[in-house]
Amino acid sequence: MGFAAAHRAVLTAHPSTAGDVVRGLAVHVLIEEPGILRLVYALDADLSRVRVPSSRAGSRTDGLWRHTCFEAFVAPADAPGYCELNFSPSLDWAIYRFAAYREGMLSADLTRAPEISVRRADGGLELDSAVRLHELLALGSARRLRLALAGVVEEDNGRLSYWALRHAPGKPDFHHPEGFALELALP
């Protein structure tokens, strides 16, 4: 299977939530043919100090951002609205549609759940997710996509750190339009 686009993005901690548990968080973004968005998150951290939800069967679950989870916000470059994708190391997931910035939130109805796998290793974990673009808003017909990439890491003491490709001014806000810092052309 060929790749139409591949990018590596390095996320940074929000200045108000930076700590010493996470050494780094990167995302490999791949647009695979035909119309598959693959996001591979690589967390480099002291896992003995990170709360990582245990893997299970995986299902649609709200509130994943309250614990360690990885996120992407995906918008067509030339149309309003965006989708929020949440993936947990538990293999749970959630996908929401928004008409505009934090407006008109609806759960996305999918015919097939995202594919998610997690691999743990010394010094970190890798979460690999794949979503079919035609299932998300008008993304299947878009020629270019804008993405905001993010992650939430929960430490063993319950403290959360917020990671993003680009942080908007003020408190952590992954939905903010300034966070949509990666643009991809689709085949």
pLDDT at 5: 63
- Domain annotation for the chain: domains and CATH numbers: 3-185 (2.60.40.1190)
CB 106 within 8 A of CB 83: no
Average of per-residue pLDDT values in the chain: 91
Joined tokens for residue 10:
């390095």
Cβ partners under 8 Å of residue 116, min gap 6? 58, 87, 91, 93, 127, 128, 129, 130
Across-strand partners of 129?
A: 39, 116
Q: What is the dihedral of CA 139, 128, 109, 92, to 10 degrees?
A: -150
Tens-digit pLDDT profile for residues 20-50: 999 999 999 998 877 889 999 999 999 999 9
Confidence of residue 139 (pLDDT cuts 50, 70, 90): low
pLDDT at 2: 47
CB atoms under 10 Å from CB of 169, counted, come to 7
pLDDT at 118: 96
Q: In what helix (H) or strand (E) does residue 119 lie, and over which residues does it extend?
A: strand 115-121
Tens-digit pLDDT profile for residues 99-116: 999 999 999 988 889 999
Q: Which residues of 55-67 are buried (b: 16+ CB within 10 A; e: fewer)?
A: eeebeeeeebbeb
